[in-house]
Amino acid sequence: MEAQVNRSIDELLDQLAATNDGMTPFNITLPIQLCVGNIINETLFGYHFKYTDTDQFEFVINSVSKHLQNLKDNVWVLIVQAWPWTRHLPIIGRKGHAEPIRDISKFQDFIAEGVNRIVQTYDTDQEPTNFVQSYLAEMKKNPQLDLINLNQVAIDFWMAGMETTSTTLRWAVLLLMKHANVQEKVRSELWSVVGRDRRLEMADKPSLPYFNATIAEIMRAANTIPFLAFHRCGFIASTEDSIVGGKLIPADTLTLPQTYSVLRDERFFDRPEAFLPERFLEIDGTTPHKKNLERLLAFGMGKRICVGEGLARMEIFLVLGTLLLRYRLEPTDPIDMKPIFSVVLAPRPFKCRVAPL
């Protein structure tokens, strides 16, 4: 998987070299999105989008972004999420279920086309090289698996993995421009461990405590996923009461975990509005602060934790680290940290100077 991530990073570097002169204000959003999107696309389908031809890619990500924004803005969608049976009611069902499905249908078509292309060409007796091929090979042995489920898994994988990771990386750029001293300290650590003549590797991770702490603080400060999915509460099943924080939660209560509140709570994080990577390190400056790391709920917790956590952490570490090794990120306009509130908290559009080192 690391080699796969690095292939997309190499294409990101090629794109920056070809389109960024290091002086002119540059929109780094699409290069970051394309890098992350290609990691996911190669995982699922085995191919990359080229930075010289991004029309289809931009159409796909714009469809996803619009869909996620609608999930926040559309009160009917929230009603259907909370009470699924309401999708059968005339007005609520149309505005909260049918229309959002219609709006995302082009993205679903993109996924279906990718799956169908592999279905038509893949010989299940061959060694699989991507997720869809692996699923088809397993489907041959397990009758409970089918193409409907495969398409839905691919949709979830692409939508969840693309938007959250690329948004976190965009927040990372903003935060490290706003806190240039942190950017320089991270770069100094990277240069001392990795040098300037080789590639950053996951094997370097234990030797980069300040960079790791900075990534943790970026995820806390960005707070990209302000709330998790609705769940029915139950200790073992939704028919049993639960005790959470000493409070009784009756069986089958609909709950909406608010990670935003936890990551901004001064009882858990001192001076939560400040950007302090050191909060994730012990006094010695190198040992991880385990208690604060446990409170970092960026990927959820328990059995419902994000299944893509490992890949997302690898992407953020390698992509951000590589950028900082090779470029200085500088603001060209006043930095606006006010987010666009949606299912994903995204930064407002910005340009920056991506200066080669």
Task: Dump pLDDT digits (tens) for 95-126.
Answer: 888 888 877 888 889 999 999 999 999 988 88
Q: Could you tell me the domains of the chain?
A: 2-356 (1.10.630.10)
> What stretches in the chain show pLDDT beneath 70?
70-73, 234-238, 304
**Region at 219 (left for phi over 0; alpha for psi -120 to 50; beta for the rest):** alpha
**Structure confidence at residue 136 (pLDDT):** 93
Report d(CA 324, CA 196) in Å as an integer. 11
Rounded Cα distance, 319 and 6, in Å: 8
pTM assigned to the model: 0.88
Task: Please count the other Cβ atoms lying within 10 Å of the Cβ belonging to residue 312.
Answer: 20
Judge contact between 263 and 275, C-beta under 8 A: no
Measured distance CA(1)–CA(7) in Å, rounded: 10
State the CB neighbour count (10 A cutoff) for residue 322: 21
Tokens of 31: 């290069």
Return the closest-CA partner of residue 60 out of 110, 125, 18, 19.
110
pLDDT at 307: 76
Spatial distance between the Cα atoms of 307 and 293, rounded to a whole number of angstroms: 18
Give the per-residue pLDDT at 237: 59
Sequence ranges of the binding site for heme = 306
The pLDDT of residue 308 is 80
Can you give the pLDDT at residue 95? Answer: 82
- Give the model's pLDDT for residue 205: 97
* pLDDT for the residue 189: 98
Numbered residues of the known binding site: 306
